[in-house]
Amino acid sequence: MKAAYIEQTGPPENIKVGDLPRPEPGPGQVLVKVRAVALNPIDLYIRSGMVAFPLAFPYIIACDLAGTVEQVGPDCKRLKVGDRVWGSNQGLLGRQGVACEFAAVGEEWLYPTPALLPDDQASAMALVGITAHLGLFRFGRLKSGETAYVPGGSGGVGSMVVQMAKAAGARIATSAGSPERVELCKTLGADLALNYKTDDVPARLREFAPEGFDVWYETQREPNLEVSIPLLRKHGRMMLIAGRAAKPALPLGAFYPRNCALLGFAMFNATPDEQQVCAHDMLRWIEEGQLKPPLVGRTFPLAAAAQAEKFLEANTVGGAGSLSSKVVINVD
Ligand SMILES: NC(=O)c1ccc[n+]([C@@H]2O[C@H](COP(=O)([O-])OP(=O)(O)OC[C@H]3O[C@@H](n4cnc5c(N)ncnc54)[C@H](OP(=O)(O)O)[C@@H]3O)[C@@H](O)[C@H]2O)c1
């Protein structure tokens, strides 16, 4: 089968597209005919070697997939041949990735694809949607009537945070880097959408939430805690999900006397059961019309997997600003 893989970590040019043996589904696994693969920043960090995971070479890149069950391994209980599925968390913690024609995936990581949802969109919502849900609800304990903020409301995680916070009955503020993306945030349901390049974001957030934010879902790799911590409400919770090399200053005097909490997490630490809770809510909200997958901003064929990662890297790490939301590799 065709696959995009690396034989050693390094730059995007290390990604080769060639033939690898088609895997056999083991106990509890199904073989998925992969149709779409969404890329995430974590794929770049693993491929470059910045995040040191155990990798079995040739290591197939990417975590998020959508496709159709082609074959069912022994002891599978939920899925059958022909089921359309989406999921995440592959290519992590020793598992093989999914940028290939056929992927053997434990059925505990897969969820049914709604009939009207195309595979590229199903793959695009996988890791970012589960991350948004874990942060808002498992860690952030967001409740109806509370107020939340997420920077980057048109981005992968941010666009899911905006919609999920609304679905949960919260007030949600966000920011984006162009007038078009600010408009997109509004169509997703943001109660306040700011342009972080032209608006005085802290002042506008203070007006929107004079008592402060119950939940601050930080998505930036260099968060400015000296600005954000004073904007938390008493008992406020701040999620930190990015910034491996960041060492932000923490204004303690604005933090502990108001019983605030900083909560860091990585979605790949969540168990299959914990991730299924997220996927279950996502599917319900899609059915109810309250959640749409993030925009697929750019697609590449499998043969151009290296260019796809290069393009994502230029945007997420390089800040090129030429991407709206997700990059997806179409496998056929
Ligand atoms: N811990 C975890 O489990 C986990 C899971 C998923 C992601 N992450 C991390 O979370 C981060 C976001 O991931 P993602 O997939 O959502 O990336 P993404 O799609 O590239 O989104 C980044 C967003 O940040 C916005 N942004 C850039 N500069 C900003 C600024 N100064 N103020 C406000 N917003 C700004 C961008 O807006 P514009 O496009 O309008 O400029 C974009 O919407 C990444 O660093 C990723 O590694 C962590």
Q: Domains of the chain, with CATH numbers?
A: 2-125+293-330 (3.90.180.10), 128-267 (3.40.50.720)
Ligand 1 neighbour 266 (Cβ under 6 A): yes
Ligand 1 neighbour 152 (Cβ under 6 A): yes
pLDDT at 136 over 80: yes
Q: Tell me the best of 241, 275, 323 to mutate to test the pocket of ligand 1, counting ligand atoms within 8 Å of each CB and taking the most.
A: 241
Q: Determine phi and psi for 221, rounding to 5 degrees.
A: -80, -20
CA distance 143 to 227: 24
- Comparing 167-181, 301-315, 318-332, which segment has the lowest mean pLDDT? 318-332
Whole-number Å distance, alpha carbon 152 to ligand 1 midpoint, is: 6
pLDDT at 227 over 80: yes
- Comparing 79-83, 260-264, 310-314, 322-326, which segment has the lowest mean pLDDT? 322-326
Q: Find tokens 């701040």 and name the residue.
A: 238
Ligand 1 neighbour 129 (Cβ under 6 A): no
Q: What's the pLDDT at 161?
A: 98
Sequence-distant (6+) residues with CB within 8 A of 252 are none
Q: What's the pLDDT at 310?
A: 97
pLDDT band at 114 (very low <50, low <70, confident <90, very high): very high
Percent of the chain with pLDDT over 70: 100
pLDDT at 226 over 80: yes
Task: Kindly state the helix (H) or strand (E) to which residue 112 belongs, with its residue range.
Answer: strand 110-112
Q: Tell me the best of 220, 231, 322 to mutate to test the pocket of ligand 1, counting ligand atoms within 8 Å of each CB and taking the most.
A: 220
Give tens-digit pLDDT for 57-70: 999 999 999 999 99
Q: What's the pLDDT at 323?
A: 79
Sequence-distant (6+) residues with CB within 8 A of 193 are 153, 173, 174, 175, 176, 182, 183, 185, 186
- Comparing 164-168, 203-207, 323-327, which segment has the lowest mean pLDDT? 323-327
Nearest-CA residue for atom 22 of ligand 1: 155
Nearest-CA residue for atom 24 of ligand 1: 152
User: Judging by DSSP bridges, how do beta strands 29-38 and 64-72 pair with one another?
Assistant: antiparallel
- Write down the pTM of the prediction: 0.98
Ligand 1 neighbour 212 (Cβ under 6 A): no
Ligand 1 neighbour 227 (Cβ under 6 A): no
pLDDT band at 319 (very low <50, low <70, confident <90, very high): confident
Ligand 1 neighbour 223 (Cβ under 6 A): no
Whole-number Å distance, alpha carbon 77 to ligand 1 midpoint, is: 36
Whole-number Å distance, alpha carbon 248 to ligand 1 midpoint, is: 17
